[in-house]
Amino acid sequence: MRYPNGKTYKKGEIKKRKTPSDISISSANRGMDLENDINESNDYYREKNIALIYKRPTPINIVKVDYSKGARITDAYFEKQSTTDYNGVYKGKYIDFEAKNTKSKTSFPLANITSHQIDHLKRVNEQGGIAFFIIGFETLNEIYLLDSSFVIYFYENGDRKSIPYEVFQKEGVLIKQGYHPRLYYIDAVEEKYFSK
């Protein structure tokens, strides 16, 4: 299997897993609220002037507005996100990412990723932006940053249905969890994209 970085993937080549002591606080017992954790982390990074990342609002298609009530929306529906959930700026660079959870221990299913999102990620890469996924393996209590090139690769090649867990271990960056911020995901961005 050929990877975006040109390396060939072989089973057994897995990097040593980080030990539980690398994770500050275990959140195994309280379930994983990835969206909430990322929003909290973004608040932290914003307050500390470390990064400026916002969640994009879910696009809403407005059908009817009642102006007699001061522009009250009385009929509308949610639309599927055609881009990603988050974007912003870190050290002047454009940052763009999607966050998803899975209960699987063995792979991340790509069923919920749309072709519009893949198209968007490609365009971000073409523009020299930084595009990645934050994937939470709930059952394992592990959260990884994985560069978008791998997501694009697995979406477009092979069975197209999932990314094996081993790919996250080998090519992803394990995101340290803590209390405040909940996710040190900018550390992972720094390690992956800025420490060359």
Single residue of 1, 25, 28, 73 touching its own copies by CB under 8 A: 73
Residue with Cβ nearer its own copies (47 or 159) = 47
Min CB(114)–its own copies separation in Å: 16
Min CB(160)–its own copies separation in Å: 25
Q: Does 87 bind its own copies (CB under 8 A)?
A: yes
Which single residue is written with the structure tokens 């002047």? 92
Single residue of 71, 159, 195, 196 touching its own copies by CB under 8 A: 71
Q: Which stretch binds its own copies (CB under 8 A): 17-25, 36-44, 94-102, 184-192?
A: 94-102
Q: Which stretch binds its own copies (CB under 8 A): 5-13, 84-92, 101-109, 132-140?
A: 84-92
C-alpha–C-alpha distance, residues 78 and 58, integer Å: 7
Among candidates 196, 107, 92, which has minimal Cα distance to 146?
107
Radius of gyration of the chain (CA): 18
Phi-psi category of 48—alpha, beta or left, where left has phi over 0 and alpha has psi -120 to 50?
alpha
Single residue of 8, 12, 16, 77 touching its own copies by CB under 8 A: 77
Q: Does 129 bind its own copies (CB under 8 A)?
A: yes
**Do 132 and 145 form a contact (C-beta atoms < 8 A)?**
yes
Single residue of 67, 68, 111, 126 touching its own copies by CB under 8 A: 126
Instruction: List all residues 6 or more positions away from 6 whose beta carbon is below 8 Å from its beta carbon.
Output: none
Count of alpha carbons within 13 angstroms of residue 40, beta-carbon side = 13
C-alpha–C-alpha distance, residues 132 and 135, integer Å: 10
Q: Which residues bind its own copies (CB under 8 A)?
A: 46, 49, 51-52, 54, 56-57, 59-60, 62, 70-78, 83, 87-96, 123-124, 126-129
